[in-house]
Structure 1
Amino acid sequence: MRQLNRLNQFQRLWQPSAGEPQQITVAELAERCFCSERHVRTLLRQAQEAGWLSWQAQSGRGKRGTLTFHVTPDSLRNEMMEQALTRGLQHDALELAQLDAPELRALLHPFLGGQWQNDTPTLRIPYYRSLDPLHSGFLPGRAEQHLVGQVFSGLTRFDGDSREPAGDLAHHWKVSADGLRWHFYIRSTLHWHNGDKVETAQLRASLLELFALPALRRLFSSVLHVEVTHPQCLTFVLHQPDYWLAHRLASYCSRLAHPEQPLIGSGPFRLAVFDPDLVRLECHEQYHLSHPLLKAIEFWITPQLFEQDLGTSCRHPVQIAIGEPDELANLRLVSSSTSLGFCYLTLKQSGRLSKRQAQRLINIIHHTTLLHTLPLDENLITPAHELLPGWTIPDWPELKDVALPEVLTLIYHLPVELHTMAEQLKQYLAKEGCTLTVIFHDAKTWDGCSYFAQADLMMGDRLIGEAPGYTLEQWLRCDTLWPHLLSAPQFAHLQATLDAVQMQVSEQARHSGLQSIFTHLMENAVLTPLFNYQYQISAPPGVNGIRLNTRGWFDFSQAWLPAPSA
């Protein structure tokens, strides 16, 4: 990058005297800048024309001239970044910010948070890791799940606080009396992000690609086929009723991309840049619902800010700060909540751990100080007392006379708090004469895990989406954990029970059926929640419309920035 090279050369000139005037020869300057004398004269001329310095040469070879500086490298870097951002060159701005963490924090500060950049309201979020590619189907990361919902649309969607699906690409839908035909009436004003009109046949093609994914095939197992019964109507034909169908289509995993261009969607924001160091979303001007007030959102991927301590601009992946990364205390907390999602422990149904032993182990977790003394950041987690509100954990007697097995094996995956939980559990079980072997599956899901056969216990993280009950139904249907956790007859019975629940027309009846399933799993010591997270979002003054959603993020289409004062 030419600008970065010019900045680096200027810094080499400036650094020996820290900006004080210098008496120096052209040859010495050329050696300092690792270039020829002819080239250094060109650098001096260009820098002088730009107003960065003054060079007063003395006639005669080897004579010392006077070098006077008018700007500092830091101010020049800031100016260059501002110019790059004004021209829409975000990559150039990030490349200019090649500094160690302390200097980088100070440099990025003016550019993060809410900014009107070149008359465009832009929200910049510093983020601690590169984002995985966005695509239809299940994604492990909360940030990726959230972004899919901002970039792609589904036939239905969850709207605000409502746990019932609403129309999205489909304006509305009708269900036949027997529940076997679902007609989704497609809006006539839909456009892809590339400006092309959305055709109903394209939506059908995208759905068929979605159903070809194994996990999504399990989710939509009741669907026989999808027909275009009218240019503005998609009809789902089912072999058995599934009154969760509109919920399934509203889930982030069912958002639809262009069938021939998988990064093109029809949501409120389009993907303008998706690179390891920068993700930029821009407003979709032809969006079919209410238009966002923000024109752009940028994720500046700056892992060096977080490598030593997540206590800067992102205290933790569930505690997001928009804006100044240097001092979280300077930001205002705009929204917080306790996640409905939870970290959990499951206990395999095998001969190595009886039901009473499993209950005893769960009692150790919930009836001792184990969860309350985890060495984690304050206000990060809350020990769980229920699976969902009203779905309480069973209360068993102490069972102190029940001896645990001498040896047990635990496997677990991310998040990082489960490292701490695993070590704490290991110590507590050792006091009971039980040696716990701990195996870490380095991933955010169970996909690709090869340790199931060895495991007696499994720990993981269950994110809850917009419709809590339905999200747990989806978990039982699609997660690779359950066939390894339950015996084959138990798993078949579970799936048959889920089929019976989905056939209930009444939403209340379906939720009651799900609660019974999970109550049975908890009472039989198959599953217990461990803790919930405390979601937090902090932002500088002037960033408005931010409210936490169930994924610990906020709807980008609702955020807004006041116009700059004249």
Structure 2
Amino acid sequence: MRQLNRLNQYQRLWHPSAGAPQRVTVTELAERCFCSERHVRTLLRQAQEAGWLSWRAQSGRGKRGELTFHVSPETLRNRMMEEALRSGHKHTALELAQLAPQDIRALLEPFLGGQWQNDTPTLRIPYYRPLDPLQPGFLPGRAEQHLAGQVFSGLTRFNGNCSAPAGDLAHHWEISADGLRWHFYIRSTLHWHNGDKIETAQLQTSLTALLALPVLQRLFASVQRTEVTHPQCLTFVLHQPDYWLAHRLASYASRLAHPERPDIGSGPFRIAAWEPELVRLECHEQYHLSHPLLKAIEYWITPQLFDRGLGTSCRHPVQIAIGEPEELASLRLVSNSISLGFCYLTLKQSSGLSEMQARRLINIIHQTLLLTLPLEENLITPSRELLPGWAIAQWPALNHVTLPATLTLVYHLPVELHIMAEQLKRYLAQQGCDLTVIFHDAKTWDGCASLAQADMMMGDRLIGEAPESTLEQWLRCDILWPHLLSAPEFAHLQATLDAVQKQACEQDRHAKLKEIFARLMEKAVLTPLFNYQYQVSAPPGVNGIRLNTRGWFDFTEAWLPAPKA
């Protein structure tokens, strides 16, 4: 801000003569700069010492001195912005850019992607929206979910795309024969990001607060209490077996923050700055697992600059590009995959919508609308199965089934569902069905007052590293299901999930869960619509990027080659 003020004052001095020499009094200069004569003398002295101008005063009050300019405000601005960027002071650069948006493009681009800055390997990602604070529990955004796993640690974690949980804060765990006591043995060399040693009692305190959140109470409904049974052992006491417990603790929603400092974790990166225009993560030097190769990650959040044509790291939220926006089309594709997560349609079968009518609606969508959606090429793939091997239901043509005269659809983000809703409304109108469309402007159903009146709901289901446990969590925790199913149906579903979680054999749990979703799909309660095609592109100097299940990449694996001498 100080540099911006100095530049503004210099601009006021320069403006009357457009840089030509001036003969002017100190009083006139003070009025021009809206300051005292004493302060304007200080400004002149500082500017002269910096080589911006020369001031030759004349003795005597009211005498005119000679003011000569050596550099234009535009040149000064460019110099300041470049120095701010080289020093990593993005905020200063953006403040200066507000004066010259036409200059920011050329100056910003060389600093995106991977850079060694002051001997620090730094990855800078231009991002299209502000990032929400990392709160305990569930988070709606994929980017925030991914960052929670980079900043915080859990008792367990998923390594890469492996669906089996591994040790994190706990190096291993043991389960009693009856499945009611789980002993997690805590590592002895753990440190918070502020350097303090992690105590097992602190983890218990953080867990107690986490499990008190209403949505996590449903997820951890089987947990009766936690106990510190040894300085390095945290024990979970259950009132019924839950063999998903290690999976639940590995979820991003179960990561643990310092009990008194929610912004401090113990993951591979610590939060150095979290502001609307800049999020900076720095390597945690005392991290207990494999140390990152990068020292810093920065999200440069400048949507106002993207609006001016700079470009963005996200051509679409599932397609991330790291590097110079002008070269997005030429960046090399370093990783791509089909998302396990999916956009879905659910149908509430009540007096207004029968099972056969619901089946016809699903046929219309899968056999007609999904094939003609006007979306960007290589963005989505129509779903043929819920998870690999979990095929969606198939029915013969049901054109003889008459649709209801009116239906109500409620949907939330992503934006592709806008197009889906519009197409469906037009098509159903041709079939004599008037579709009322209600948009819930959010990424989840939280706070949606329209679910009770909906016949149809469309949303997005993100899938984490363990697909089966994520889907089980969805049925337990999402407020969609009590609105979608009748009270007896929902109670039966929860009882069935309780029976499934008691299966010690993972294959048996997966098979039983598959049966639950097969029934929901066969009854036309649920159908997946499409999956996304995740992509990450980067310039040649960025290495170690491999897409995870959320369409991001593990920051601990990325690396930059050292600069050539």
**Fold conserved between structures, TM > 0.5:** yes
| Alpha-carbon displacement from aligned partner over 1:52-109 (angstroms, at most 9, x marks no partner) | 4566889995687543327814532333314642xxx444344333357654333321
Q: Which residue of 2 aligns with 1:129?
A: 129
The answer to whether residue 426 in structure 2 is matched with residue 424 in structure 1 is: no
The one-letter amino acid of 2:81's match is: N
CA contact (8 A) 1:127 1:303 kept: yes
Q: Which residue of 1 aligns with 2:119?
A: 119
Q: Bigger shift: 270-279 or 432-441? A: 270-279
Q: Which residue of 2 aligns with 1:516?
A: 515
In 2: Cα distance, 1:423 partner to 1:265 partner:
44
Any idea what SS the aligned residue of 1:415 has?
Answer: coil
Deviation at 1:15, TM superposition (A): 7.1
Q: Which residue of 1 aligns with 2:153?
A: 153
Q: Which residue of 1 aligns with 2:379?
A: 380
| Alpha-carbon displacement from aligned partner over 1:523-562 (angstroms, at most 9, x marks no partner) | 1100111111121222222111111111111111111112
CA contact (8 A) 1:128 1:305 kept: no
Q: Bigger shift: 117-126 or 76-85? A: 76-85
Q: Which residue of 2 aligns with 1:95?
A: 95
Q: Which residue of 2 aligns with 1:142?
A: 142
Q: Which residue of 2 aligns with 1:494?
A: 493
CA contact (8 A) 2:411 2:457 kept: yes
| Alpha-carbon displacement from aligned partner over 1:162-207 (angstroms, at most 9, x marks no partner) | 1100000000011112211111111111111111111111111111
Q: Which residue of 2 aligns with 1:556?
A: 555
Deviation at 1:41, TM superposition (A): 5.8
Q: Which residue of 1 aligns with 2:82?
A: 79
In 1: Cα distance, 2:425 partner to 2:15 partner:
54
In the superposition, the TM-score normalised over structure 2's length comes to 0.93
Structure 1: 5+ residue runs without aligned partners?
A: none
Closer, same or farther: CA 386–99 of 1 in aligned 2, 3 Å: farther
| Alpha-carbon displacement from aligned partner over 1:466-500 (angstroms, at most 9, x marks no partner) | 01111111100100000000011111111111111
Q: Bigger shift: 473-482 or 527-536? A: 527-536
Task: Name the count of aligned residue pairs.
Answer: 560
- Please give the residue correspondences for 1:370-409 in structure 2 after superposition, counting only pairs within 5 Å: 370-409=369-408
The one-letter amino acid of 2:221's match is: S
In 1: Cα distance, 2:464 partner to 2:102 partner:
37
Deviation at 1:232, TM superposition (A): 0.9
Closer, same or farther: CA 454–62 of 1 in aligned 2, 3 Å: same
Q: Which residue of 1 aligns with 2:20?
A: 22
CA contact (8 A) 1:100 1:304 kept: no
Question: RMSD of aligned C-alpha atoms?
Answer: 2.4
Any idea what SS the aligned residue of 1:326 has?
Answer: helix
CA contact (8 A) 1:314 1:325 kept: no
Closer, same or farther: CA 159–429 of 1 in aligned 2, 3 Å: same
The one-letter amino acid of 1:195's match is: G
The one-letter amino acid of 2:511's match is: S
In 1: Cα distance, 2:347 partner to 2:309 partner:
34
Closer, same or farther: CA 66–100 of 1 in aligned 2, 3 Å: closer
Any idea what SS the aligned residue of 2:282 has?
Answer: strand
Q: Which residue of 2 aligns with 1:214?
A: 214
The answer to whether residue 67 in structure 2 is matched with residue 68 in structure 1 is: no
The one-letter amino acid of 1:216's match is: L
- Please give the residue correspondences for 1:252-271 in structure 2 after superposition, counting only pairs within 5 Å: 252-271=252-271
| Alpha-carbon displacement from aligned partner over 1:415-456 (angstroms, at most 9, x marks no partner) | 122111111111111111111001111111111111122110
Q: Bigger shift: 399-408 or 512-521? A: 512-521
In 1: Cα distance, 2:311 partner to 2:387 partner:
30
Deviation at 1:366, TM superposition (A): 0.5
The one-letter amino acid of 2:410's match is: I
Percent of aligned positions with the same letter in both sequences? Answer: 77
The one-letter amino acid of 2:507's match is: Q
Deviation at 1:303, TM superposition (A): 1.7
Closer, same or farther: CA 17–147 of 1 in aligned 2, 3 Å: farther
- Please give the residue correspondences for 1:265-280 in structure 2 after superposition, counting only pairs within 5 Å: 265-280=265-280
CA contact (8 A) 2:128 2:312 kept: no
Q: Which residue of 1 aligns with 2:483?
A: 484
In 1: Cα distance, 2:147 partner to 2:294 partner:
15
Q: Which residue of 2 aligns with 1:296?
A: 296
CA contact (8 A) 2:7 2:77 kept: no
| Alpha-carbon displacement from aligned partner over 1:226-263 (angstroms, at most 9, x marks no partner) | 11111111111112211111100000000011112111
In 2: Cα distance, 1:315 partner to 1:421 partner:
20
CA contact (8 A) 1:318 1:535 kept: yes
In 2: Cα distance, 1:31 partner to 1:78 partner:
28
CA contact (8 A) 1:156 1:169 kept: yes
Q: Which residue of 2 aligns with 1:287?
A: 287
In 2: Cα distance, 1:544 partner to 1:101 partner:
32
Any idea what SS the aligned residue of 1:344 has?
Answer: strand
- Please give the residue correspondences for 1:315-326 in structure 2 after superposition, counting only pairs within 5 Å: 315-326=315-326
In 2: Cα distance, 1:183 partner to 1:65 partner:
78
CA contact (8 A) 1:294 1:560 kept: yes
Any idea what SS the aligned residue of 2:397 has?
Answer: coil
Closer, same or farther: CA 410–470 of 1 in aligned 2, 3 Å: same
The one-letter amino acid of 1:298's match is: E
Q: Which residue of 2 aligns with 1:415?
A: 414
CA contact (8 A) 2:347 2:358 kept: yes
The answer to whether residue 503 in structure 2 is matched with residue 504 in structure 1 is: yes
In 2: Cα distance, 1:25 partner to 1:364 partner:
80
Any idea what SS the aligned residue of 2:265 has?
Answer: coil
| Alpha-carbon displacement from aligned partner over 1:257-280 (angstroms, at most 9, x marks no partner) | 111211111111111211222211
| Alpha-carbon displacement from aligned partner over 1:276-330 (angstroms, at most 9, x marks no partner) | 2221111111110011111111112212134477953321222222232333124
The one-letter amino acid of 1:561's match is: L
Any idea what SS the aligned residue of 2:334 has?
Answer: strand
Q: Which residue of 2 aligns with 1:341?
A: 341
Q: Which residue of 2 aligns with 1:536?
A: 535
In 1: Cα distance, 2:396 partner to 2:87 partner:
66
The one-letter amino acid of 1:516's match is: E
Any idea what SS the aligned residue of 2:256 has?
Answer: coil
Q: Which residue of 2 aligns with 1:463?
A: 462
CA contact (8 A) 2:86 2:117 kept: no
CA contact (8 A) 1:84 1:93 kept: no
